[in-house]
Chain A
Amino acid sequence: MRLSAAVAVLLFAAAARPAIAARPVAAVAGVETKSPRGRSLAEMFAGSLEAALRSSGAFDQIDRELLADQLSRYGCDAEPCQIGFARSAGVSLLVRGKLEERAGGLGFRVEAYGIDAPYFGRMLYRYSVDVPAGTTAPGAKELGLICEEHAIRAVAGALSVFRIPVPLSDDGQGVLAVSGSIRVKAGEYDLFRTGPTAPTGHAVRVDERIGKVRIDLRGSVTGAGSAGPRAGDYVLTGLGDDAARTARLHRARKEEAVFQNPGYSDAILAALFSVPASASMPLMAPLGYYRYGDFEGLCLWAANAAPWLYLEASGLLRRPSELRKDRRDVPRETSARYTFALYMLGIGGVPLFVDAFAHRYLHDASLYGGAQPVVGGEPTAVFLSVVSGGGGHFYKGHRYWGYLYFHLNNALVYSVLREYSYSWRYNAGTGSYRKSRGDEGRLRLYLGALGAVKVIEVAHVLLIGHSISAGRVTEERFSVAPELLYDDRGFAPALRISYRF
């Protein structure tokens, strides 16, 4: 008998075992690259994917090198062949990668396929990230760390959507329980019954959802409703918790590695330097952007800071005291502008000062460019959020959120000041001023709104992490876009929700 025939028998044996594994098997079918230069990096990335899957603790794994050897021996490099191979070999989750070296930088792509029900070979997740080429190319150590980061994120993402069928079995006393070594959390689950097996050579079948069952902490079925479960039926459970934990752990490790001293001392420093930073923002922020070649930041700064800088300049140039010296009326608007100018000098300019510098430090941190000073502290982010509009978000690298809070905060502060400020009307008869304040109800309203925005802003800044992901995720699984369709009946507005696969 030819050895290949023996292997075919073994393959058949692998395929003929129960469709639902006690512990699922995962395989990394290599990382494809087109350039000879990229091979070592692709190998590194494949190793990282394998390690990330292993650290999730959810799978048995096929040795990657052995698998790569076999796939290459059979010339099985295309997707249909690899899915077929995975199915025959009893793999539940197949992961394929691709590394692209482009003029604009590096592109990491990961695709994950579910082989068993409910996927029947479908791609269940795609992760795609572009790491832009900076002015200095990352070294081998940094590239290794970038590979590891994206492998962990890709695996965590894949496992967050991956579902594995866990069958119910009878313990001999008529009690149904989930079988195998897969942990199933207590709760209510949809119950599925395996449909008619597809004819030989075809993998897809229709499994029927027959109702819901409740599973307790020990894995026993305690409530079945109208489902009428029986041995062999299955529920679907996820494996994403461990992978998500690994991803969180990796992120914490990265933060430790790339931030120099993220503690209270930075917050104290920020408090001490906030006034000079705010006062010098109109000059220092553009210089900072320019120094670091952040021209996008410079353009955003110019467009967003202009109206507030105009108010600041106008307040400083037309001071109420000067008008009073000339015995002229002082409109409330003028008083408010002056006070707002003092606010901008004292603290209001801090967020944009922070953005000019933190953005660069965070960029370096994201690509593992050494331990960065000043950035990374949670107390500093909270302090900046409390005292200024969007400062904490800029500090954490979330520029667009930062600008949103910056404008919202400034608009409310200005409104508050406008209602709080006095208008001074000169009475030539008495030679004195009569002062009057704005509407108290509106003042309370604005103060309340400002307080609410502050609470939301601080809570938000505590919830989001520092923007230190290496590269930008370019491909999401879902996208939503408005669309205008035209047919014989005319135009019809539509919303397109697409799922990329």
Chain B
Amino acid sequence: MAALLTLAVSRQSSILAAEIRVNPPSGGVAIFVLPVPDPALGALSAETAAVLREAFERCGRLAPVEEHRLRWAFGGARGGSAIDVYEDAARRLDVDLYMVVELRRLGESYRATMRSIPLREELAAMERTAAFESRIMINIPQKLAAAAVMLHRGVPVSASVLARLDDGSFILGAGQWHGVGRGQWPVSGLGTMEILESGRYESVARIPGGGPGIGSKIIIPVYPDVRSLSRRYETRISENTIARYGAGATLLKGTDARKRYIEGACVINPGGNACLPVYGAFLATGYLGFKDHRPDVSGLAVSGSVLALQFSLVPFATGFSARFFPWERDGDKSRGMQRMQYFLWASSPLTVSAAYLDQLAVQFSRSGTLPPFFEDRNAFAALCSAVVPGGGQFYKARRLAGWGFFLSEMSLGAASAYYFGEKTVGGALLGVLGAVKLADIAAAFFMRAGYDTYNRETAADDAAPVPFLGVRESPDGGKITMLGVSLHY
């Protein structure tokens, strides 16, 4: 009730914010977004500041300075140029680091320039200047936030001794917010520190032998998980991009794009190819609403050649002496040849499906849109590859890889059918086919999509596994050798 009374009385007051006792966790970070006259950019500025503040909050190293304190600092800031004014304001606030963000509109796209300037020597590694561009306005804050998170890579907890207690323990300026809590913690140069109790920003700690005096800095080698934090922002960027360029928002507005995609693949394309082989695959893409679409001749040529080969290989191989239909066998058609012919005929729907997916990859790339199911692109691409050889690669607009897998699997399939009766060769070929199929599915899952529209927005969203080898200083002075693979999923 005292609180209610307090608030009721203070409602009319002119109390200053500084009169409310708070425990700032550190000198913090000041985020300055340069003012812009454009109202849309003004809204973007506000959102950028909010998202950046959230990013710093989540990293738990530098607390963002509140809006009213920024205004206060600007009130008395002096400087020659605009940048000097920000530096002066940052020094008045006694922050550890300040960021200056400039937003601009360049035709259809938006551009942000971010400068992070540390004011403490130990944070020198956080100095960075970077520029980001996007055609989607709401992606700008997310890109900046992801970059701000990555600035925290390898930044340990640096906490001050705030007060000493009678029993030899001391108040440490780090707590749950920084990622430390009750227990034993290694401390650079001081052995082990025991945290007896922790609050959000402060803890009571003890170091055998007394520990350092008031104002001393204690470095705890605990690092923020920047990968998972930045992935959060990358996911948002991806979601925004799909919402803007996805087929459901562009080509097929008002309809269920996913259903159209399935219908196109399972009904329209087979029907189109039954009427007009190969070219029907291109015509079927029209069902997904492409305007003024043109066929890709190279893709049609490849698929046409493969289809022709599927029906003519056995007649050619037997000098046109064997009967044409696979179910009719004669003396010129060996059992192996008949099995292969069955395979080639039976797999012709896969060829027209591959042709269709290939034409779709071209149409989606040309129209700057993204196919349905793109939010689950990795799983869907793997599924496509499981059904159609190279299908996942086509889905991700990696046509060359798609045709590579398609031709490999079809050749191995035909050879396996031919040699099926011979245990050793047939078994080996089937084994190789299985291995290639697995590689196809895995590659489809992990391969980065080839749509420029998407890649432009998510430049950092790298799905390919990246090997790394490195050496890092260990907290106790030694070296840690690291070898591994970073996998983005």
Contact = CB atoms under 8 A, between A and B. Distances in A.
A140 to B, nearest CB: 22
Given A206-B197, A486-B483, A488-B480, A103 B10 contact: no
Given A120-B199, A123-B200, A90 B23 contact: no
A174 interface: no
Contacts of B375: 104
Interface string A452-487: 000000000000000000000000000000000011
Given A204-B198, A206-B204, A74 B171 contact: no
Contacts of A67: 7
A66 B7 contact: yes
Contacts of B197: 120, 204-207
A466 B200 CA distance: 38
Contacts of A119: 199
Contacts of A257: none
B20 interface: yes
B163 A103 contact: no
B256 A293 contact: yes
B15 A63 contact: no
B8 A89 contact: no
Interface string B1-31: 1111111111111111101111111000000
B17 A74 contact: yes
Interface string B236-268: 100110111000000000001011001000000
A84 interface: yes
B38 interface: no
B165 A4 contact: no
Given A104-B239, A204-B198, A199 B176 contact: no
A89 B5 CA distance: 10
A449 interface: no
A202 interface: yes
A501 B175 CA distance: 11
Per DSSP, chain B at the interface is mixed
A444 interface: no
B11 A70 contact: yes
Interface string B371-401: 0010100000001000000000000000000
B363 interface: no
Contacts of B258: 293, 295
Contacts of A196: 165-167
Interface residues of A, number: 68
A186 interface: no
B449 interface: no
B169 interface: yes
A198 B171 contact: yes
B22 A80 contact: yes
A173 interface: no
A80 B17 contact: no
Contact of A202 (B10, B14, B50, B171): B171
Nearest to A295: B258
A487 B480 contact: yes
Interface stretch (A8-16, A336-344, A387-395): A8-16
Contacts of A198: 163, 165, 171, 204
B201 interface: yes
Nearest to A298: B262
Given A13-B2, A66-B7, A69-B11, A202 B162 contact: yes
**Most chain B CB neighbours (cut-off 10 Å) among A62, A69, A123, A198:** A198
B253 to A, nearest CB: 12
B223 to A, nearest CB: 14
A3 interface: yes
Contact of B17 (A69, A75, A104, A295): A75
Contacts of B291: none
A201 B21 contact: yes
Interface in A269-326: 290, 293, 295, 299
Contacts of B176: 122-123, 501
B68 interface: yes
A80 B171 contact: no
Contact of B3 (A62, A84, A203, A204): A62
B26 to A, nearest CB: 10
B196 interface: yes
Interface residues of B, number: 77
A254 to B, nearest CB: 28
Given A14-B3, A102-B236, A103-B240, A3 B13 contact: yes
A80 B23 contact: yes
Contact of A62 (B4, B11, B163): B4
Interface in B160-210: 162-163, 165-167, 169, 171, 175-177, 196-204
B7 A122 contact: no
Contacts of A488: 474, 478-481
A165 interface: no
A83 B244 CA distance: 39
B97 interface: no
B330 interface: no
B332 interface: no
A120 B23 CA distance: 12
B224 interface: no
Contact of A84 (B11, B21, B68, B169): B21
Interface string B69-80: 100000000000
Contacts of A205: 197, 204
B299 interface: no
A135 B248 CA distance: 10
Contacts of B452: none
Contacts of B7: 62-63, 66-67, 70, 89
Contacts of B202: 120, 202-204
A205 B196 CA distance: 9
A78 B6 contact: no
A383 to B, nearest CB: 33
A84 B6 contact: no
B21 A89 contact: no
Interface in A122-181: 122-123, 135
Contacts of A487: 474, 480
A158 to B, nearest CB: 15
Interface stretch (B59-67, B105-113, B455-463): B59-67
Interface string A94-128: 00000000111000000001000001111100000
B175 to A, nearest CB: 7
Contact of A293 (B17, B259, B480): B259
5 contacts: A3-B14, A73-B15, A202-B162, A204-B199, A206-B197
Given A60-B1, A486-B483, 11 more contacts: A4-B19, A8-B15, A62-B4, A62-B7, A67-B7, A80-B63, A81-B17, A103-B236, A122-B200, A202-B163, A487-B480
